[in-house]
């Protein structure tokens, strides 16, 4: 399994908005399918309405998504912890 970051636009309510999503998947095609599935089920958007701009493999330590951190918790602990940037106020 690998961690992927997906960026694109989708209809959220009456507007189209940009989104970034970190997903655990076995390949880029699987990550794309999971993105369509998650956004479609949460926001009632069909696959034709969701436009994916990029899919890139990422280091799981840079993610703040709980699913990614949970899936790679042993590797993250062995590597010294999370290296995600902290948000400033």
pLDDT, tens digit, 9 for 90 and up, residues 74-89: 988 888 887 756 565 5
| Domain CATH number, residue 20 | 3.10.20.10
Between CA 39 and CA 71 the distance in angstroms is 20
Q: What domain count does the chain have?
A: 1
- The pLDDT of 38-54, averaged and rounded, is 94
The answer as to whether 66 is a domain residue is no
Q: What is the model's pLDDT at position 87?
A: 61
- Please provide the average confidence, as pLDDT, over all residues in the chain: 91
pLDDT higher than threshold 90 for residue 28: yes
The answer as to whether 54 is a domain residue is yes
The answer as to whether 31 is a domain residue is yes
Report which of residues 78 and 53 the model is more confident about: 53
| Predicted model pTM | 0.85
Q: What is the model's pLDDT at position 10?
A: 95
Between CA 35 and CA 20 the distance in angstroms is 10
Domain that holds residue 9: 2-58
């Amino acid at each position: 399994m690998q961690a992927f970051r997906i960026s694109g636009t989708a209809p959220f309510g009456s507007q189209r908005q940009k989104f970034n999503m970190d997903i655990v998947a076995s390949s880029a095609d699987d990550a794309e399918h999971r993105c369509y599935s998650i956004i479609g089920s949460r926001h009632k958007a069909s696959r034709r309405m969701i436009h994916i701009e990029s899919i890139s493999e990422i280091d799981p330590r840079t993610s703040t998504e709980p699913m990614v951190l949970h899936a790679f918790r042993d590797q993250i602990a062995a590597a010294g912890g999370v290296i995600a940037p902290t948000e400033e106020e």
